[in-house]
Amino acid sequence: MEPDLAVTSKGCTPATMAWQGSPLDEPLLAPGKDGGEDAASMEAQHLRRRDKGASFSRSCLNLSNVISGVGVLSVPYALAQGGWLSLALFALVGAVCYYTGELVARCMRADGDAVRSYPDIGQLAFGRPGRKAIGAVMYAELYLVAISFLILEGDNLDKLLPGTSLGLPGGYLLRGKQLFTLVAAVAILPTTWLRDLSVLAYVSAVGLVASAALTASLVWAGVAEHGFHARGGNVVFSLAGLPTSLSLYFVCFSGHGVFPTVYTSMRNKKDFTKVLLASSLLCSLNYALTAVLGYLIYGDDVKSLVTLNLPSGKVYTRVAILTTLITPLAKYALVIQPITAGIEEKLSLTGQGGLPRAAISTAVLVSTVVAACTMPFFGYLMSFIGSSLNVTVAVLFPCLSYLRIYMPRGGVRRAEVAAIVGILVVGVVVAVVGTCTSLHQIAGTF
């Protein structure tokens, strides 16, 4: 296939230059010292390199962990906002995000091994301005998601252990959500120092078990206490709550900023489509069950975090909260890895050992702790992330980049162009309306 002249005219091999120093840049086959290495030796070295990649099952665990996260706690609230018919929109959002995830993979394959990250896709499609724009939005999205994890930890630990406080030197008393946010940060910190995604797969597996346990806890709560026919849980469709509902649905499926990291880590990258499909279906099932159960139990009284509806002191409440606490612990390292890698590259610290990377990831964690202690409105923050940043990263950028890369090469059919344009129109509407709604809600909290 001939190179895209519109892309190469922006500079000589811009994508290659962009990722040259990336910490993920490990060639599969290194040349021999004198150029005379025989074929058998080179093949053996090639197989050793391939063995270092994440397997199909581990890639499924990592990608499922990326997709399935704190959004599971907000889907009952999203369903309450939009009504029962919004479940059709939930399915549509899931299908759209799966398709745009596949577009991300196609963009990753567009220039051989030169494209290694989401900003690399932006550079291949739109040059340096595209790289900067996509990088800025992606890093902002991942950073806010990391903050939401810590807010979630503080809220749920405070509900689990109310009244807990810790005295500090100087007479300062640390209590409640701030105390537990710091405790969660200390627990998360070691996982941020891990670099190998095949190792992180074990952490991801724990996170997926925790998500399933949360759904089981809601079933337990419904059977033991409330039943499945709460008053007010019969809204068929609510136009006023639709922007919030759609925004939160996008939160559920948008982990696209981390998709290139998982793709690059795979042993066999051709299996990414299968991994994406399996992960999307598994997470969709868990999301839908949690949404329906939470809304049936609590109706219109369901809160932005469904765990906040559970009565204190009950066994199933403790199980739900404890499993909820595991999810951010399992996801935080995956979410901030692209941020850490980007800072490494920007500061030219790539390949200088684990100490600079540990220092950067620690600094990122500390900054998110500070932000989490000053932004306590979890539901509205998640709505803002979903409407503005998630839609941009998960829908707008993949579609625009794919069209920009492949249309000059004649690789996009007219029907696909029409479908992508339709997705772009819907994405822009959701982004504008949802962002305005969530900002209005956030402003109302002050």
Model confidence band, residue 108 (pLDDT cutoffs 50, 70, 90): very high
Q: Does residue 376 have a pLDDT over 50?
A: yes
CB atoms within 10 A of CB 86: 26
CB 395 within 8 A of CB 424: yes
Q: Does residue 183 have a pLDDT over 80?
A: yes
* Average pLDDT score over residue span 179-204: 81
Q: Does residue 216 have a pLDDT over 80?
A: yes
Mean pLDDT of the chain: 80
- 24 is a domain residue: no
CB 275 within 8 A of CB 59: yes
In terms of average pLDDT, the best of 133-137, 276-280, 298-302 is 276-280
**Crossing angle of helices 56-67/315-346, nearest 10°?**
100
In tens, the pLDDT along 251-272 reads 888 789 889 989 998 989 999 9
CA pair distance 362, 359, nearest whole angstrom: 5
Higher-confidence residue: 51 or 427? 427
Q: Does residue 352 have a pLDDT over 60?
A: yes
262: which 2 tokens?
């998982």
- 326 is a domain residue: yes
Q: What is the pLDDT of residue 45?
A: 45
CA pair distance 226, 223, nearest whole angstrom: 7
Q: What is the pLDDT of residue 10?
A: 40
- 23 is a domain residue: no
Higher-confidence residue: 52 or 19? 52
Q: What is the pLDDT of residue 12?
A: 43
* Average pLDDT score over residue span 186-194: 86
Among residues 430, 403, 348, the alpha carbon closest in space to that of 107 is found at 403
Q: Residue 429 belongs to what H/E stretch?
A: helix 414-443
What amino acid is encoded at 209 in this protein? V
The dihedrals phi and psi of 165, each to the nearest 5 degrees, come to -145, 165
CB 283 within 8 A of CB 98: no
CA pair distance 254, 67, nearest whole angstrom: 7
Q: What is the pLDDT of residue 403?
A: 96
In tens, the pLDDT along 89-107 reads 999 999 999 999 999 999 9
- 11 is a domain residue: no
- 156 is a domain residue: yes
In 60-172, beta strands by DSSP E: 165-167
**Crossing angle of helices 197-221/56-67, nearest 10°?**
50
Q: Which residue segment(s) compose the domain that 412 sits in?
A: 52-443
Q: Does residue 362 have a pLDDT over 80?
A: yes
**Count of domains in the chain?**
1
CB 131 within 8 A of CB 162: no
* Average pLDDT score over residue span 66-91: 89
CATH no. for residue 100?
1.20.1740.10
- 202 is a domain residue: yes
Give 174's strand partners.
166
On the 0-12 / 13-18 / 19+ scale of CB atoms within 10 A, 426 is middle
Q: What is the pLDDT of residue 258?
A: 87
Q: Does residue 51 have a pLDDT over 80?
A: no
CA 74, 65, 353, 182 torsion-angle sign = positive
CB atoms within 10 A of CB 299: 18
CA pair distance 309, 171, nearest whole angstrom: 35
* Average pLDDT score over residue span 349-377: 83
* Average pLDDT score over residue span 217-223: 85
Q: What is the pLDDT of residue 5?
A: 40
Q: Does residue 39 have a pLDDT over 50?
A: no
- 21 is a domain residue: no
CA pair distance 284, 290, nearest whole angstrom: 10
- DSSP class of residue 396 equals I
Q: What is the pLDDT of residue 196?
A: 66
- 110 is a domain residue: yes
* Average pLDDT score over residue span 331-355: 83
Q: Does residue 446 have a pLDDT over 70?
A: no
CA distances from 317 to 92, 186, 309, 310, 391 (A): 32, 24, 9, 6, 33
The dihedrals phi and psi of 321, each to the nearest 5 degrees, come to -70, -40
Q: What is the pLDDT of residue 288?
A: 94
Q: What is the pLDDT of residue 100?
A: 97
CA pair distance 183, 7, nearest whole angstrom: 48
Percent pLDDT > 90 in the chain is: 30
* Average pLDDT score over residue span 139-150: 85
Q: Does residue 141 have a pLDDT over 70?
A: yes
What amino acid is encoded at 212 in this protein? A
137-163 burial code (b ≥16 CB/10 A, e <16): bbbbbbbbbbbbbbbbbbbbbbbbeee
**What pTM was computed for the model?**
0.76
Q: What is the pLDDT of residue 52?
A: 67
Q: What is the pLDDT of residue 383?
A: 64
Q: What is the pLDDT of residue 231?
A: 61
Q: What is the pLDDT of residue 445?
A: 64
Cα-based torsion angle of the residue sequence 271, 277, 206, 336 in order, rounded to the nearest 10 degrees = 80
